[in-house]
Amino acid sequence: MSEMAGVNRDLFHLPEEPHHPEGSSTMLGFWMYLMSDCLIFAMLFATYGVLGTSYAGGPGPRELFDLPLVALNTSMLLLSSITYGFAMLNMTERRQGPMLAWLAVTGLFGLAFLSIELYEFAHLIHEGAVPQRSAFLSSFFTLVGTHGLHVLFGTIWLVVLMVQVRLKGLIPANCRRLMCLSLFWHFLDVIWIGVFTFVYLMGMLR
Amino acid sequence: MSAAGHGQGNTAAHDHADHLNEEAHGSRKGYWAGFALSVVLTAVPFWLVMTRPLTAQATAMIIMGFAAVQMIVHMIFFLHMNRRAEGGWSMMALLFTIVVVVISLSGSLWVMYHMNENMMPAMDMSQAG
C-alpha cells in the first residue's frame, strides 16, 4: 500500500483487509452447516411424525422393532462419543499415538453401529417390511437411513483424518479438521437421542 | 486462557491452535460426567418402555422429558456449547435453529393432525362424485 500513502484522496474502504488467522472462522462455519443439517433432520422427524401411524394394513412398530437391539446400537454410539472425547483430550495434550488409538476405537464403534443397523434393516426387509410397504415404513427408512448415512460418512472422514495425522502430524489444519469431526460426531449422537426416543421407544408405546 | 500463559507452541499458529483447543475441549472429568449422565438418561427410558411400570401416557411424557434433558447434556458436555463460544454466534445460530425446528415440527403435526381429523369421515368417493 506504499504507493497509496502519498495520494491525497478519501478512502471509502479499508486499505487492507483485517487480518484473520487462517481457519479462524472454520469452526463457526462448520457449526452453521450442522445447524442446517439439523433442519434436514427436523423435516424428516416431522414427516415421520405425520406418517408414522399410516401402516396401510402392514406391520407396525410393535411387530417390527427389537428394543434390546436398539439399546445395543445406542450404547455403541454413546461409547463412540466418549472415546472421541478422549481422542480430543489427547490431541490437546499433543500425544499423537494415544489420539490415533482412541480414534481407531471410535471408528470401530461407528462400524459396529452401522453393522447392527444394517442387520436390523436386512431383517426388516426379509420380513417384507420394505420402504414401499407403507408410509410408516417409507418415513422410518428415510429418517433412520439418513442418520446411518451420516454415521457412514463420519466414519470415512475419521479414517481419512487418521491417515492425514499419520502423514503430517498434529499440524493446526489437522487439529481444526479433527475438531470439526468432533462436532459432527457428537451432533449425530444428539440426533440419535431423538431417533431412539421418538421412533423406537414411542413406537413401542403405541 | 491466554495464549501467552500456555506457551508450548513456538509459532503464532501454534498458539492459536492451543487457544482453540482449550476453548473447545473440556476435561476428562467433563467427558465422564457427560457419559455417566447420558447412560442414566438412556437406560431409564429403555427400562420404562421394556418393563412398562407406568401407563403409556405417563411413560411417553417421561421419556420425552429425558430425551430433552439428554440433548442438553450432550450439548454442554460433548459439544461444549456455551454463551461465549465464537463470540456468542454459535449460541445464536443454535437458538435460531431450535425456533425453526419447533415451529416446523409442531406446525406440521398440528396441521396434518387436523387435516386427517376433518378429512377421514368424509372420504367416501362414491358420494363425492
Once rounded to an integer, what is the mean pLDDT over residues A101-120? 97
How far apart (Å, rounded) are the C-alpha atoms in residues A205 and A198? 10
How far apart (Å, rounded) are the C-alpha atoms in residues A171 and A173? 5
pLDDT of residue A14: 78
Whether residue B12 has pLDDT greater than 70? no
pLDDT of residue B125: 53
Whether residue B124 has pLDDT greater than 60? no
Question: CB–CB of A193 and B67 under 8 A?
Answer: yes
User: In Å, how far from its chain's centre is CA A8?
Assistant: 55
Of B13, B56, B74, the CB nearest to A186: B74
CB B84 within 8 Å of CB B90: no
Q: Is B60 on the interface with A (CB under 8 A)?
A: yes
Size of interface A-B (CB pairs under 8 A): 134
Nearest CA in chain A to B99: A39
User: In angstroms, what CA-CA distances link A159 with A165, A174, A186?
Assistant: 10, 13, 17
pLDDT of residue A130: 94
Question: CB–CB of B78 and A189 under 8 A?
Answer: yes
User: In Å, how far from its chain's centre is CA A108?
Assistant: 15
List, as ranges, residues 2-41 from B with C-beta within 8 Å of A: 8, 12-14, 16-18, 20-22, 24-28, 31-32, 34-35, 38-39
Q: Write the DSSP assignment of A57-109 as a string of letters.
A: TS--HHHH--HHHHHHHHHHHHHHHHHHHHHHHHHHTT-HHHHHHHHHHHHHH
CB A179 within 8 Å of CB B64: no
Question: CB–CB of B100 and A42 under 8 A?
Answer: yes
CB A158 within 8 Å of CB A106: yes
Once rounded to an integer, what is the mean pLDDT over residues B96-117? 93
The complex's ipTM works out to 0.86
Q: For A56-104, how does the pLDDT look when each residue is reduced to its tens digit (9 = 90+)?
A: 999 999 999 999 999 999 999 999 999 999 999 999 999 999 999 999 9
Q: Is B81 on the interface with A (CB under 8 A)?
A: no
Residue B7 identity (one-letter amino acid): G
Question: CB–CB of A50 and B112 under 8 A?
Answer: yes
Nearest CA in chain B to A31: B90
Q: How confident is the model at residue B108 (pLDDT cuts 50, 70, 90)?
A: very high
Q: For A18-28, how does the pLDDT look when each residue is reduced to its tens digit (9 = 90+)?
A: 777 888 889 99
Walk me through the domains of chain A, giving residue ranges and CATH numbers. Answer: 62-205 (1.20.120.80)
User: In Å, how far from its chain's centre is CA A85?
Assistant: 15
pLDDT of residue B14: 45
**Residue that has been written with the C-alpha cell 450439548 in this structure:** B75
Question: CB–CB of A35 and B96 under 8 A?
Answer: yes
CB B94 within 8 Å of CB B81: yes
Q: For A10-57, how does the pLDDT look when each residue is reduced to its tens digit (9 = 90+)?
A: 777 777 777 778 888 899 999 999 999 999 999 999 999 999 999 999
Chain B nearest CA to A92, separation (Å): 6
Nearest CA in chain A to B85: A28
Question: CB–CB of B21 and A202 under 8 A?
Answer: no
CB A117 within 8 Å of CB A148: yes
Q: For A141-189, how does the pLDDT look when each residue is reduced to its tens digit (9 = 90+)?
A: 999 999 999 999 999 999 999 999 999 999 999 999 999 999 999 999 9
**What's the number of CA atoms in the CB half-sphere (13 Å) around residue A78?**
23
CB B49 within 8 Å of CB B63: yes
